[in-house]
């Protein structure tokens, strides 16, 4: 069974950093691009970042202004999101999502259950 399990969320003060992880199982991880998508409480969905199968192509939402870094470790079947200079507006449920393709195509065919990040003093 395909599984994506996010971890690393929590309460963090503005300006601090947090690293999210996503552990994948049940499929050949390095055959697919992966993404982070977030959802602020009571709001809609926002794509954050995506990475191709071999990390050769990476994309970010313009709104992040270079504060976040996506990475993956295919040997560990894991996806990561390093979030720096966190702001209150980064408060959201962060989903790990699998792409249908090996490249960053934006077709999110499987999602984890999310990890909640709360940025507050």
Partner 1 sequence: DIQMTQSPSSLSASVGDRVTITCRASQSISSYLNWYQQKPGKAPKLLIYAASSLQTGVPSRFSGSGSGTDFTLTISSLQPEDFATYYCQLSYRTPRVFTFGPGTKVDIK
Which one of residues 27, 59, 67, 116 is an interface residue with partner 1 (CB under 8 A)? Answer: 59
Which among 21-29, 72-80, 83-91, 100-108 is the span making contact with partner 1, rule CB under 8 A?
100-108
Which among 24-32, 70-78, 82-90, 109-117 is the span making contact with partner 1, rule CB under 8 A?
109-117
Q: Output DSSP code: residue 66.
A: T
Q: Which of 118, 103, 81 is nearest to 4 (CA)?
A: 81
Q: Which of 8, 87, 104 is nearest to 47 (CA)?
A: 104
Q: Which of 1, 6, 29 is nearest to 80 (CA)?
A: 6
8 Å CB contact between 82 and 49:
no
Which among 10-18, 23-31, 68-76, 98-106 is the span making contact with partner 1, rule CB under 8 A?
98-106
90 in contact with partner 1 (CB under 8 A): no
C-beta of 48: minimal distance to partner 1 in Å? Answer: 9
Site string for partner 1, 3-42 (x = CB under 8 A): --------------------------------x-x-----
Q: Report the C-alpha gap between 5 and 20 in whole angstroms.
A: 11
């Amino acid at each position: 069974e395909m599984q994506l399990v996010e971890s690393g969320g929590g309460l963090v003060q503005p300006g601090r950093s947090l690293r999210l992880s996503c552990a994948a199982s049940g499929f050949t991880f390095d055959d697919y691009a992966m993404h982070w998508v977030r959802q602020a409480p009571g709001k809609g969905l926002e794509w954050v970042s995506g990475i191709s199968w071999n990390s050769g192509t990476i994309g970010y939402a313009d709104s992040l202004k270079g504060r976040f870094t996506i990475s993956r470790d295919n040997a560990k079947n894991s996806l990561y999101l390093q979030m720096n200079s966190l702001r209150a507006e980064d408060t959201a449920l962060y989903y790990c999502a699998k792409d249908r393709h090996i490249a960053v195509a934006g077709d999110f065919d499987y999602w984890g259950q999310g990890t909640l990040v709360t940025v507050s003093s």
